[in-house]
Amino acid sequence: MAGRMVVGSTALAELVRPASGSDPTGAHQLLPVLPELAGLLPNRGLRRGSTVAVGLGHPARSGSTSLMLALLAEASRAGSWCAVVGVPTLGAAAAADLGIELGRLALVPHPGPEWATVVAALIDGVDVVVAAVPGTVSASVVGRLAARARQRGSVLVPYGRWAGADVTLQVIRGAWEGLGQGRGRLRRREVTISARGRGAAARPKEIRVWLPGDGSSRTGRVSSAGVVPPSGGPAVAAPPGVGRTGSRRAALTVVGTSD
């Protein structure tokens, strides 16, 4: 199934009811993320009730969609429902390739003028709600949606410019690999992801990763000379899902980290 396409208030209500019943106690306060992204988050996961924004990067959207999907992948595989609002170009194949369970993915490609109402309704019953930010959103709407996420125990993931997020992840640099002298094919992209926020996330962090991963699992700190491998450290394990079926490739491969 290529995700649930949600159109109209009736379909939205039908989605929210079963999703909200999946974890009625809210016992699991931390939703998992891929190990490669864990170091960017203050709790090494998606804390229920938090707001984790994904910026559009420079140039706009360069690697940002892949980052947004990668952020959902581990929670989706662990059984959480996810919803994506306002991204009509989102491809189910890309989502599945990055590890998202399509049977627990709701898509609202065109929320219309009642964008805030749609997002609020999904927050009531879906574990992780990605919401593409439609231009300028008023401070009152920002505050109201963040408060609703805290109350309901959902994770709100604004996709675009968003003031006041607990953490903002953003692709700040990227370069494709695979093209030779006028021929070849684009195979993967090395991107630098930054994390900035408030409280426990106030200290800026950066990592360099391959999107998609190549399974080689290289890691190290970033210096002026490039990537310095950890001395005697263990190899980084491949992301969950790699090796289980023999066909899924790694969603991310860490190249370097920097605090």
Q: Is the peptide bond before 59 cis (omega within 30 degrees of 0)?
A: yes
CB 201 within 8 A of CB 50: no
Token pair 């931390």 is found at 30
104 vs 162: CA distance, rounded Å: 26
**pLDDT tens column, 15-42:** 655 554 444 444 468 999 999 899 999 8
Helices 115-123 & 9-20 angle (0-180, nearest 10): 20
Q: pTM of the predicted model, to two decimals?
A: 0.75
Which domains, and CATH codes, for the chain? 4-168 (3.40.50.300), 169-258 (no CATH)
Task: Give the CA radius of gyration of the chain.
Answer: 18
Quote the strand ranges of 102-160, DSSP E. Answer: 105-108, 128-132, 155-159
In the chain, the amino acid numbered 89 is T
**pLDDT tens column, 185-206:** 766 778 889 999 888 777 888 8
**pLDDT tens column, 61-102:** 578 898 999 999 999 999 999 999 999 999 888 889 888 999
255 vs 234: CA distance, rounded Å: 15
**pLDDT tens column, 157-172:** 999 999 989 999 999 8
Residue 233, pLDDT score? 35
Average model confidence (pLDDT) for the chain?
76
Q: Cβ–Cβ contacts within 10 Å for residue 238, how many?
A: 19
DSSP type of residue 93: H
Number of residues that make up the chain = 259
